Amino acid sequence: MESRFFSAARRLITYFKLLEVVPERDESRLLWSRIERDVRRKKRNRKIMAWSWSAAAAVAVAVLCFSLPRNERQSTESGLMAELVVPMGEHMSLELADGSSLRLNSGTRVIYPRSFDNSPEREIYVDGEIFIDVQPDAEHPFIVRTAGFEVEVLGTAFNVNAYSEDSHAEVTLVRGAVRITDRAERVMQLEPDQQAVLNDGGLSEKRSVDARKYVSWTDGVMIFEGEALENVMDRLERYYGVNIIREDSIQISITGSLDLNDSLAEVLERISVIAPIRVSRNEDGYHVYSR
Amino acid sequence: MDNSLDMSVIGTEDSALWRRIVDGDIDALGVLYDRYYPSLLNYGLKFIADREFVKDAVHDLFVRVGGNRSLKKDVVVSSYLFRSLKNILLNQIQRKRPGQLEAFAFNLPDDDNIFDTLFKSDDKDRELAIALKSALAQLSENQKQALYLRYVGGFSHREIAAMLDMNEQSSMNLVHRAFSKLRKLMGDEKFFLIVCLFLRTF
């Protein structure tokens, strides 16, 4: 019995070996010549790409947009996708599977694949504000999708500021290159220190800005240059996750920088020194009055 | 490769070859291709019985390896190639033939003519071989692959472990478990001892 088993098993292996195909020499050569041609072609293209990448070596963008439809949550429970929601008043860092790193601002929701293997594009979904440093990979474009529009990264690092409650959205490029496609399929490409303004998911304006101001939050600093006090309060509200109730309409603009490591009370105190405002606090948040 | 090839790379180990490929040596890529094309083609055919489809995937695999500037330096080369090929196949099927996605699985081929030639009707091993063959078909995907890679492909446990994304011990266990399942399926109590002997012999 034992020797019979040996014999049958060995011969069965022989059987499976016999079923293996043996490629013809010509067939094998032909395939190799295709491979060789395409590898050389790819290396040539890479030299051109390498040049344009260095021009686009670093991207930074700020984007502001709408909420993702909530029913998309379902499809993200599949295990292939992960979701991160940053609590109000907190900030987080995240590294994606491809080595790209993100800074997430307060109240931001991001949905991202656990792995980028097997997909021609690298895509993430954002509701809120992120700064992202994208790992260069010319073959796998990096796309940030928001409910209203999408941003394709042609370089390496950018900032997306896209909170659902705002109908207003911004994409600000610090370095490199990005291409924005809006809801109506209109396309805008940005150069460094340019900002795209979107309303209700539609591109409305391209303007020149000091882009560093829009990503300074990642260093714990907010820089304003002639910014409407109203907008400053919006951003502080979001960053600290606390309500700031505007009791009076205060039409002034401010210039300066704020250290976000300070408490909100300290920050408002500092603003009240340079701006004609008065601040008080009760249980529903901070109240700002003109003085 | 053509005659101008630097002959020194022919007998080179995979890992040394790989280092040259990482440095952009296209001749080294050609040697690797020659070495693995037949086994990759056969492995791919176990997932999809379409030779041109598999050849396209092998093409994509080697173009990716040869044209990739940020190739990982430390890999088990054979395993890297097999796993990548499977991923590319899966990807291509998703893209081009989504209807066949559900059928995407590792299957050992069968050919009655060849079987009957090898095991004639009066062959004393024939019944046992048929029982073994049908038992094989009932193994798990990973068990089938492990047995195939080990006994038909001739790969080491280290290579198989890396191909199937498990550690070396798990790969050995997998082969053992496959055999004990075969035993159960064949309903032969004596079989277990035989299997242990068998494992040592191969």
Convert the pLDDT of each residue in A171-223 to its tens digit.
888 777 888 888 778 889 888 888 888 877 788 889 898 877 777 887 778 88
Counted across chains A and B, CB pairs separated by less than 8 A come out at 107
Residue whose C-alpha is closest to residue A63's, from A175, A216, A198, A189? A198
Listed as ranges, residues in chain B with pLDDT below 70 are 1-11, 183, 185-202
Give the pLDDT of residue B166: 80
Q: pLDDT tens, A223-252? A: 877 788 888 888 888 788 788 888 877 788
Confidence bin at A45 (pLDDT 50/70/90): low
Residues of chain B contacting residue A27, judged by C-beta atoms under 8 Å apart: 55
Residues of chain B contacting residue A46, judged by C-beta atoms under 8 Å apart: 67, 69
Give the pLDDT of residue A214: 79
Query: Across residues A99-103, what is the average pLDDT?
Result: 83
CB atoms A21 and B41 under 8 Å: yes
Interface confidence (ipTM) of the complex: 0.83
A131's CB contacts (< 8 A; 6+ apart) are A60, A62, A102, A103, A157, A158, A159, A160, A215, A217, A218
B152's CB contacts (< 8 A; 6+ apart) are A13, A16, A17, A20
Query: Across residues A75-96, what is the average pLDDT?
Result: 71
Q: Is the pLDDT reported for residue A68 higher than 70?
A: no
Give the pLDDT of residue B129: 86
CA distances in angstroms from A222 to A88, A218, A256, A273, listed in the order given: 17, 9, 8, 17
Give the pLDDT of residue A159: 65
Residues of chain A contacting residue B41, judged by C-beta atoms under 8 Å apart: 21, 23
Give the pLDDT of residue A3: 61
Confidence bin at A64 (pLDDT 50/70/90): very low
What is d(CA A155, CA A243) in angstroms, rounded to the nearest whole number? Answer: 36
A282's CB contacts (< 8 A; 6+ apart) are none
A125's CB contacts (< 8 A; 6+ apart) are A68, A72, A110, A111, A112, A144, A145, A146
A24 shares contact with chain B (CB less than 8 Å): no
Q: Is the pLDDT reported for residue A276 higher than 80?
A: yes
Question: Which residue among A8, A17, A46 sits closest to B128, beta carbon to beta carbon?
Answer: A8
Q: How far is A20 from chain B (nearest CA, A)?
A: 6
CB contact burial A191-222 (16+ within 10 A = b; e otherwise): ebbbbbbbeebebeeeeebebebbbbbbeeeb
List of E strands, A140-243: 142-145, 150-153, 157-162, 168-173, 178-181, 187-190, 194-199, 202-208, 221-228
Give the pLDDT of residue A157: 55
Query: Across residues A140-149, what is the average pLDDT?
Result: 81
Amino acid, single-letter form, for residue A255: T
Instruction: Identify the residue among B45, B47, B61, B62 best suited for mutation to test binding to A, counting A beta carbons within 10 A and taking the highest.
Output: B62
Confidence bin at A78 (pLDDT 50/70/90): very low
Q: Is the pLDDT reported for residue A168 higher than 60?
A: yes
A73's CB contacts (< 8 A; 6+ apart) are A83
DSSP label at residue B153: S
